[in-house]
Structure 1
Amino acid sequence: MKSSTPHPRSIWILTACWLLPLLGLVLSSFPPVQSADVTMADAAHQEFARRLALFSINVYGKLSAHKPGENIVFSPFSIQTCAAMARLGAEKETATQLDHGLGLASSEPKQIAQSFHQVLAAYQDSQILRIANKIFVMEGYQLRQEFDQLLSTQFLSAAQNVDFAKNVQAAATINNWVEQRTNHLIKDLVSAEVLSSNSRLVLVNAIHFKGTWQHQFSKHLTRPETFHLDGERTVQVPMMSLKERLRFADLPALDAKALELPYKDSDLSMLIVLPNTKTGLPALEEKLRLTTLSQITQALHETRVVLKLPRFKAEFQVELTEVFQELGMSRMFTDQAQFGKMLQSPEQLKVSAIIHKAFIEVNEEGTEAAAATGMVMCFATMLTYEPQPVRFHVKHPFNYYIINKDSTNLFAGRINKI
């Protein structure tokens, strides 16, 4: 028997990203793109990357404030993609808040979907970066045709009916899908307790990156060395070493330096931004709020580098409701949410939660999804006709990103402790 008072049904938005090194894996080449397509789409790619970078800065700032002193790893692209799928079913004030909060280039659903499709399609056949979207729908309910079509054609997201009232089985179905698409690394993204007969939709994005370094570190050169947690405390960590020509930038305006480590057979790389001082990360993070990744990558130039980078792992899980509310996207969580473009039935819907989970491991062979390193620089004295190599020693807290050639920010994070 239905209650006489309408009760908003719930939408769950779940994102998952895992990053882990691949050992001895032969990676297929990054899918070729026609030059004419590159010329036509170049401006759109750069604008998408610029807006994603701003969203990443905003989310990072909130996560950093909520989790002071903790290691952070997250995928701004995964979070934005999942929320953008919900945006396609939103209208009125809810849609306007999502447009502004996500930093979308358009308020037109078809154009929003197309902007994400350009990234999703570029990596559709990649063995290095895998991105998958899925929408789970309560049995007995149908998606509106336009919403369903945009998700399936542009977000490459197929709909699947499940019975959320059978919450244990429904959670297992969702978690199995996520696990399969993250190389069995993300488990139990959603618990059975959060699903019920009131649940109507679960939107999921899973992103999985596995890459080997273009210039691999030799394991026999890895040695225990000191990593400074702050101005006083230190720990011994396994420190990897590499001497190679790499793209580097001195960033005096940020009181920091940057280094790019490319991944083999792809247009992806890890960008490491290291403050110049042991305790300089908080000040650097403030300055990065006003600095785009493209500004940093444009300053990079190739030079000989003596690199020391710690081998590390980091895990992170967060419920993003408070972050989204602080970014101006609050109506979606209330009984006044407007998601009338999702279901054929006229039921009122609201977002119950947004869950994001991420993991990273960096070692001598490579990384999966996101990686970070910080470094202190000085110059080595050598008798040579070439410029003296830069010493890039990541021995204190730092920021890191995994980006593509357009500086699209796929993963971001910081390492405070190892």
Structure 2
Amino acid sequence: MKRSTPHPRSIWILTACWLLPLLCLALSLSPLVRSADVTMANAASQEYARRLALFSINVYGKLAAQKPGENIVFSPFSIQTCAAMARLGAEGETATQLDHGLGLASSDAAEIAQTFHEVLAAYQDSQILRIANKIFVMDGYPLRQEFDELLTKQFLSAAQNVNFAKNVEAAATINGWVEQRTNNLIKDLIPSSALDANSRLVLVNAIHFKGTWQHQFPKHATRPDTFYLDGERSVQVPMMGLKERFRYADLPALDATALELPYKDSDLSMLIVLPNSRTGLAALEDKLRITPLSQITQSLHKTQVVVRLPKFKAEFQVELTPVFKQLGMSKMFTDQAEFGKMLQSPEPLKVSAIIHKAFIDVNEEGTEAAAATGMSLVFRSLPSARQVPIRFFVEHPFNFYILNKDATALFAGSIQKL
């Protein structure tokens, strides 16, 4: 018999991510992919990357509007993964809204889970990219077997029981797990005030990346230089310098150029998209909304490039409920939310918050980045001889992405001030 409950209990969705310079240059790296069994079919991986890139653009647009003029760094992969875990427990219109809003390729829970499993498993043994999922469940509320099995087997996510009524202890447990998985870069993801006796589940995804540049910037070449914040204001920043062969693209349709900086011993790279104008970031971002990332990466060709790139750090935190609502995923936050596939008990559930924290640090040696999301339910051309080097001077606001070979966006953002 169904329990009569006036207000659905809460589910929290939390994500955290970070990127930082890799200082240990002698790091021994394991293969990124254990076997061909976990390698995604080309077409399927490209379609997944395309859909994730679209989700990334949609989220970025809302974040930029929400925090104008601010540096933005986030992990679209982390956010989407965490929300997809919640989707596995959803039904009806709630599930349909999540399918559309997240840009999922299927509405079948098993197929959704398999799609994410192929990405997660591909990096399961990686020493530079670590992805972890976790679900914290209220004591005395066991998960439904089907939901538990999908999370455990496909999202590689273990469940842990906590007593949310002891909110300080519960928050410490969750935040301690996130800190451990993000090299202590993401702290205090969830405030204790967000938890209480009505909390039932907290879904968390944490992603940590620490990569060394394939071509490191020599430290002696770093010197103070000008970074233009807009058409008038400027600041002096430590500007790194390097001359090397990189994949580069002139993108006249975007009034921009792009450069790919690969990381050592991986299929990951940083893509920088730089508007031609000092004040061209907003116009570029409008065009990026209708330009697939894969179209940019396919336009890249190897050539000699003189690079000037500022060292930068950025931290970002945001509560994503307004973003999800603007993207059409609103029912999950209401008393009419349908999450009947999560718990064995007929407890009504709704999402009370989606918290995302991210950090990035780029220097001469490489990049370290981290992010966490928590959801609480209450192209190539031949080189020409003696080619004149291209100048790629990052002297004003720009967009960046950390991508794999399929252009899957693990991290994304923009730097507007230093």
TM-score range, shorter chain: over 0.9
- Identify the residue that residue 210 of structure 2 maps to in structure 1: 210
User: Are 1:27 and 1:265, in contact at CA under 8 Å, matched by a contact in 2?
Assistant: no
Provide the rounded CA distance (Å) in 2 between the counterparts of 1:413 and 1:76.
Answer: 10
Change (3 A) 1:177 1:33: closer
Q: In the alignment, what sits opposite 2:11?
A: 11
Q: CA deviation at 1:15?
A: 0.2
Aligned partner of 1:97 in structure 2 is 97
> RMSD over aligned Cα, in angstroms?
1.5
Cα gap change, 1:169/1:106 in structure 2, threshold over 3 Å: closer, same or farther?
same
Q: Which has the higher contact order (CA 8 A, sep 6+)?
A: 2
Aligned to 1:81: 81
Q: Distance in 1 between matches of 2:128 and 2:37?
A: 24
Q: Is the 8 A contact 2:182 2:370 kept in 1?
A: no
Q: How many residues align?
A: 403
Counterpart code for 2:386: E
Q: TM-score, normalised by structure 1?
A: 0.94
Task: Give the Cα separation in 2 of the matches to 1:345 and 1:385.
Answer: 71
Equivalent residue, structure 2, for 1:30:
31
CA shift for structure 1 position 408: 0.3
Q: Could you say which residue in structure 1 is the equivalent of 2:388? A: 388
Offset of 1:141 from its aligned partner?
A: 0.6
1:290 match: 290
Q: Does 1:154 align with 2:151?
A: no
**Deviation at 1:5?**
5.0
Unaligned runs of 5+ in 2: 372-383
**Shift of residue 31 of structure 1?**
2.5
Q: What is residue 413 of structure 2 aligned with on the other side?
A: 413
| Contact 2:52/2:76, CA 8 A, preserved across alignment | yes
> Alpha-carbon deviation of 1:369?
3.0
1:275 aligns with 2:275: yes
Structure 2 equivalent of residue 71 of structure 1: 71
**Partners in 2 of 1:338 and 1:5 — Cα distance?**
14
Aligned residue identity for 2:29: S
Cα distance in 2, alignment partners of residues 221 and 19 from structure 1: 23
CA distance in 1, matches of 2:280, 2:212: 30
Q: Could you tell me which amino acid in structure 1 is paired with residue 99 of structure 2? A: D
Give secondary structure in 2 for the equivalent of 1:391: strand
Q: Is the CA contact (8 Å cut-off) linking 2:33 and 2:123 kept in structure 1?
A: no
Q: Deviations over 1:94-136 (max 9, x none)?
A: 0000000000000000000000000000000100100000000
Residue in structure 2 matched with residue 350 of structure 1 by the alignment: 350
Alignment-derived partner of residue 322 in structure 1: 322
In structure 2, the partner of 1:193 is: 193
Matches within 5 A, 1:42-53: 42-53=42-53
Cα shift readout 1:215-246 (whole Å, capped 9, x = no counterpart): 00000110000000000000000000000000
Letter matched to residue 32 of structure 2: P
- Measure, in 2, the Cα distance between the counterparts of 1:5 and 1:335: 10
Say which SS state the counterpart of residue 11 (structure 2) adopts.
strand
Determine the C-alpha separation between the residues in 1 that align with 2:350 and 2:178: 23
TM superposition shift of 1:29? 3.9
CA contact (8 A) 1:29 1:266 kept: no
CA distance, structure 2, for counterparts of residue 355 and residue 210 of structure 1: 23
Q: Tell me what 2:377 maps to.
A: none
Cα distance in 2 between the residues matched to 1:269 and 1:233 = 31
2:137 corresponding residue in structure 1: 137
More displaced 10-residue stretch of structure 1: 180-189 or 147-156: 180-189
CA distance in structure 2 between the partners assigned to 1:275 and 1:164 by the alignment: 47
What is the TM-score of this pair, normalised by structure 2? 0.94
Paired residue secondary structure (1:335) = coil
> Which residue pairs with 2:223 in the alignment?
223
Offset of 1:22 from its aligned partner? Answer: 1.4
Is there any run of 5+ residues in structure 1 with no aligned partner, and where?
Answer: 372-383
SS at structure 2 position matched to 1:369: strand
